[in-house]
A and B are shown apart, each in its own frame.
Chain A
Amino acid sequence: MKTCLTAIISSLMIFSPMAYADKWSDQFPHIKATGDIPGDCSYEKMSKKNYKGKTLKINTHAIPVMGEPTALHAEQFEKLTGAKVEVTHTPAGDLYSKAMVPFQAGQAPYDVVFGFSNFINDWKRYLAPVPKKYMNSPEMKDVTKSHMGVSSWDGTMYQYPVDGDRHYLKYRKDVIDNPEMQKKYKADTGNELRVPRTWKEYAQMAKYFNDWDWDGDGEKEYGSAEVMKKDDLMFAAFFSRSVAYAKNPRTPGGFFFDLETMKPNINNPGFVEALTDWVEATKYVPPGGTNFGLGDEIGSFGGGQTLFSFSWDDAFIAAMQDDSPIKNKVGAAPLPGADRVWNRVSNSWENQYNQAPYIVWGWAVGVAKKSKVKDMAFDYLCFFSNGANHQADLAIGRFGVNPFKNSDFDPNIYINSMGWDPEIANSYTQTLLDMEKSNNRVFPLRVPGVFEFTSAVATGTSKALAGQLSPQEALDEVAKEWEAIVSRVGKKAVQDAYAVGVKMEDNKL
């Protein structure tokens, strides 16, 4: 039934432009590639709503990532419904507190609050659950199972899906698949040049292609662009490197903690190996690369400065935009794995190949429980992610809107609307689809006081990257801090919340 529904929606998305393009895309050029796409919150449907005299207040991220599409869709929503929409832009690091302070004070200065999906545990008591009529809409039925899980808490959806996130590998296809480069690499290193299967291979290739002009553009290129700036999402980059060594499919019951004892796993040899690799990576990033935030990473890889990158979709989409110097020269692949994986039960390494996708947290948005215009707020969110807006947003890297619907995995969308090379479009959608199907996934930590945990990881790992502490010392410090946080928050509260995430990781939800 679900497959059938997905196929129908995909077909509608692909073939609908001819029917609707003229009517709505003249007024709203953003959707010129598809025109309006029928659905519960399409342009057609929204134009019939009347919110004249009502004001919707939104707190979102700074422009461009998520901030730009929020403002754009707010403007469109105003034109269609007559509502007044006030958009406030806030830096990423302050999104949590900007909503949390009034929430805790019992106020609702914003009807719609944007944040990250891992805020859900702290925010859920202040957010209104997504009403049934939206839950039953065809658009919602199209959302992938993993992103339904990420947006929900124990079966209740609190965050309206507008974005889907996962970390995967991006590489320069024109280098890795280049026979001449392959020959040269083999001659110089004795190894095959291929899409790296392990982080060790990744490091070897990145080092080899570091600090010389390998694409002949007159400028030096480098090995890898990564998010290494302290407190700027770096903890997520570290977890991406850790999953291969520390997410063992044979030891269910917790990646971040041992669910039974709530003892942190963060300083076990698997994580230490990952951090050791990461410290090594500081040698093959561009100058200043250890201070790269997400924007720098997107600009660096998207601008053709590095061979590899891994994190959210944005760098890949930026590289595939029409104005990119490396359009159709990049490839997508699963995160590298490892030749051995730590078994935390037997306390030993298992010498077998392991790979684990990281369904990292992403943008999330909710409606304040105390909002007086909840209907309008949900309509806005539904309109934000309607078929036409979603497809148009997907094509713009800086928007930060990434695939989260089953229909997004149809390569034809990227080939027809965005001019992608079919081989690249196929590898991209297949990479994302494989992550959805994997049984060895890691989901973001979503426990009370999550920021304390991730902040401790950022501090510890950044000390290791800066050479202030060894990887083992740094992660021992993080583990000690995690134990203190668990003790402060209450072991049971963290354990109960963590159990929900573990169920998802262990494929029981």
Chain B
Amino acid sequence: MNFKHKYFFLFPGLFVLIGILIFPIIFVVRLSLSGWNSYNPGLDYIGLENYIRLFTDDPRFWESFFRLSFLSVTTVILQYVIGFALAHMVWKDIKFKRFFRVLFLVPMMTTPVIMTVIWRTFFHESLGPVNDLLSVFGVAPKWLTDPVIAKFTVIIVEVWQWTPFMFLLLLAGLLSLPKEPFLAAAIDGASPIRKFIYVTFPLMAPISIGAIIIRLIEASKIMDTVYVLTSGGPGTSTETSSFYIFIKGLREFQMGYAASMSFTYLIIMIISLTIIAKVLTKVLLKE
């Protein structure tokens, strides 16, 4: 068999890779160097003009980026803590274990946009059931119209929707842990808390890092929740990078500029997630 034939067999995979991964990225880079918009459709060449505008004259992009960082880090931490607690709970032999395992996955199985519409109805300040119930206690939070509270409303919805994903990964991790360290800890008479701190948590560290990174990547694309729940408001208080890019690209049709934002955002995310992964590895896997 001619050795060169291997390239022939590699070609389909390579073709798909170029088609669905490499070409879009190259096209976005090229698009970002053009002034494509609603009145000037076409790949003209304007050099780094879009990037100069982004770095020197668009504080809104950077504000939305820092807001996104806050939202994604907060939601992922909460998802991790709650997800770990739930996974730990159903890992043990409890009654209705199978029922709870399925129940905890339900939010993830629902369509995010539809669920967000339902949440928006819940949080509606004059017609929604949440404030109706809270009025018994004499409080009526401005879930969607207060710039600070609205951020936490987005966090609540995101945590509700995506904690099951974290739960699923962590449960799979827990189920794959070796039994010996736990037996040794039991023989030594370790309390449940010490067992968790010194055995379960360290053994789960590699899986935790993977789960956190996967969720951070996903959380950094928060879009549908913001779109449906608040449209980025009140003001710009819940506007995230992806929502802002969406506005510039598909609402205002500034395709070239939106492409420059997307590419910049991609680079920032690659760098920051790499750093986060390294830091997490160093901290959690120091042993």
Report yes or no: A448 in contact with B247, Cβ–Cβ below 8 A: no
Interface of B is mostly: loop
Report yes or no: A449 in contact with B39, Cβ–Cβ below 8 A: yes
Scan residues 27-74 of chain B and give those whose CB is less than 8 A from a CB of chain A: 35, 37-41, 57, 60
Residue A20 lies at the interface, judged by CB distance under 8 Å to chain B: no
With A231-B247, A291-B230, A468-B147 given, is the CB distance from A462 to B236 under 8 Å? yes
Cβ–Cβ < 8 Å partners of A222 in chain B: 126
Cβ–Cβ < 8 Å partners of A94 in chain B: 250
CA distance A32 to B284 in the complex (A): 73
Interface of A is mostly: helix
Report yes or no: A455 in contact with B235, Cβ–Cβ below 8 A: no
Residue B264 lies at the interface, judged by CB distance under 8 Å to chain A: no
Report yes or no: A291 in contact with B140, Cβ–Cβ below 8 A: no
Residue A230 lies at the interface, judged by CB distance under 8 Å to chain B: yes
CA distance A96 to B252 in the complex (A): 9
Report yes or no: A291 in contact with B253, Cβ–Cβ below 8 A: no
Report yes or no: A287 in contact with B140, Cβ–Cβ below 8 A: yes
Scan residues 59-110 of chain B and give those whose CB is less than 8 A from a CB of chain A: 60
Cβ–Cβ < 8 Å partners of B247 in chain A: 231, 455
Scan residues 102-161 of chain B and give those whose CB is less than 8 A from a CB of chain A: 124-128, 131, 140, 142-145, 147
CA distance A449 to B124 in the complex (A): 34
Report yes or no: B233 in contact with A291, Cβ–Cβ below 8 A: yes
Residue B231 lies at the interface, judged by CB distance under 8 Å to chain A: yes
Residue of B nearest to A461 (CB): B235
Report yes or no: A231 in contact with B235, Cβ–Cβ below 8 A: no
With A230-B235, A468-B237 given, is the CB distance from A287 to B125 under 8 Å? yes
Partner of A291, one of B35, B39, B57, B145: B145
Report yes or no: B231 in contact with A229, Cβ–Cβ below 8 A: yes
Residue B4 lies at the interface, judged by CB distance under 8 Å to chain A: no
Cβ–Cβ < 8 Å partners of A93 in chain B: 251
Report yes or no: B236 in contact with A104, Cβ–Cβ below 8 A: no
Residue B254 lies at the interface, judged by CB distance under 8 Å to chain A: yes
A98 to chain B, nearest CB (A): 9
Cβ–Cβ < 8 Å partners of A466 in chain B: 147, 233-235, 237
Residue of B nearest to A480 (CB): B57
CA distance A465 to B236 in the complex (A): 11
Report yes or no: B145 in contact with A288, Cβ–Cβ below 8 A: yes
CA distance A291 to B149 in the complex (A): 13
With A229-B231, A231-B232 given, is the CB distance from A449 to B144 under 8 Å? no
Partner of A465, one of B35, B231, B235: B235
Scan residues 421-467 of chain A and give those whose CB is less than 8 A from a CB of chain B: 448-449, 451-452, 455, 459, 462-463, 465-467
With A448-B38, A455-B247 given, is the CB distance from A229 to B235 under 8 Å? no
With A288-B124, A451-B253 given, is the CB distance from A462 to B233 under 8 Å? yes
Q: Which of B57, B143, B145 is most buried by chain A, counting CB atoms within 10 A of its CB?
A: B145
Report yes or no: A286 in contact with B235, Cβ–Cβ below 8 A: no
CA distance A232 to B131 in the complex (A): 24
B223 to chain A, nearest CB (A): 13
Cβ–Cβ < 8 Å partners of A452 in chain B: 37, 252-254
Report yes or no: A288 in contact with B126, Cβ–Cβ below 8 A: yes
B210 to chain A, nearest CB (A): 35
Type the 1/0 row for B234-255, where 1 means its CB is closer than 8 Å to any CB of A.
1111000000000100111110
B42 to chain A, nearest CB (A): 8
Partner of B38, one of A231, A291, A449: A449
Residue of A nearest to B39 (CB): A448
Report yes or no: A291 in contact with B234, Cβ–Cβ below 8 A: yes
With A231-B247, A448-B38, A449-B39 given, is the CB distance from A465 to B254 under 8 Å? no
Residue A339 lies at the interface, judged by CB distance under 8 Å to chain B: no
CA distance A93 to B252 in the complex (A): 10
CA distance A116 to B98 in the complex (A): 52
CA distance A203 to B140 in the complex (A): 24
Cβ–Cβ < 8 Å partners of B253 in chain A: 96-97, 100, 122, 449, 451-452
CA distance A455 to B233 in the complex (A): 13
CA distance A97 to B253 in the complex (A): 7
A429 to chain B, nearest CB (A): 32
Partner of A104, one of B41, B232, B251: B41
Residue of A nearest to B150 (CB): A291
With A104-B41, A286-B126, A288-B142 given, is the CB distance from A455 to B252 under 8 Å? yes
Residue A489 lies at the interface, judged by CB distance under 8 Å to chain B: yes
A310 to chain B, nearest CB (A): 19
B124 to chain A, nearest CB (A): 6
Partner of A290, one of B145, B250, B251: B145
Cβ–Cβ < 8 Å partners of A488 in chain B: 35, 37
Cβ–Cβ < 8 Å partners of A484 in chain B: 57
Cβ–Cβ < 8 Å partners of A118 in chain B: none
CA distance A465 to B57 in the complex (A): 24
CA distance A96 to B247 in the complex (A): 12
Cβ–Cβ < 8 Å partners of A300 in chain B: 126
Report yes or no: A449 in contact with B252, Cβ–Cβ below 8 A: yes
Report yes or no: B145 in contact with A455, Cβ–Cβ below 8 A: no
CA distance A291 to B230 in the complex (A): 7
CA distance A93 to B228 in the complex (A): 11
Cβ–Cβ < 8 Å partners of A232 in chain B: 231
CA distance A189 to B5 in the complex (A): 92
Partner of B235, one of A122, A289, A449, A468: A468
Residue of A nearest to B244 (CB): A459
Q: Which of A289, A468, A488 is most buried by chain B, counting CB atoms within 10 A of its CB?
A: A488
Residue A135 lies at the interface, judged by CB distance under 8 Å to chain B: no
Residue A493 lies at the interface, judged by CB distance under 8 Å to chain B: yes
Residue A59 lies at the interface, judged by CB distance under 8 Å to chain B: no
Report yes or no: B234 in contact with A455, Cβ–Cβ below 8 A: no
Report yes or no: B236 in contact with A305, Cβ–Cβ below 8 A: no
Report yes or no: B39 in contact with A493, Cβ–Cβ below 8 A: yes
Report yes or no: A290 in contact with B252, Cβ–Cβ below 8 A: no
CA distance A468 to B142 in the complex (A): 16
Report yes or no: A288 in contact with B38, Cβ–Cβ below 8 A: no
CA distance A45 to B54 in the complex (A): 57
Contacts from A to B (Cβ < 8 Å): 93-94, 96-97, 100, 104, 122, 222, 229-232, 286-291, 300, 305, 448-449, 451-452, 455, 459, 462-463, 465-469, 484, 488-489, 493
- Beyond the given A288-B127, A488-B35, could you list 17 further A-B residue pairs with CB under 8 A, ordered by the A residue number? A97-B253, A100-B38, A122-B39, A230-B231, A231-B232, A287-B140, A287-B142, A288-B145, A300-B126, A449-B253, A451-B253, A452-B253, A455-B251, A462-B233, A465-B234, A488-B37, A489-B37
Contacts from B to A (Cβ < 8 Å): 35, 37-41, 57, 60, 124-128, 131, 140, 142-145, 147, 230-237, 247, 250-254
Give 24 A-B contacts (CB < 8 Å), ordered by A residue.
A93-B251, A96-B253, A97-B250, A122-B253, A229-B231, A231-B233, A288-B126, A288-B127, A288-B145, A291-B145, A291-B230, A291-B234, A305-B126, A449-B253, A451-B252, A455-B252, A459-B236, A463-B235, A463-B236, A466-B233, A466-B235, A466-B237, A468-B236, A489-B37
**A-B residue pairs, 5 tightest by C-beta:** A288-B125, A466-B235, A230-B233, A466-B234, A448-B39
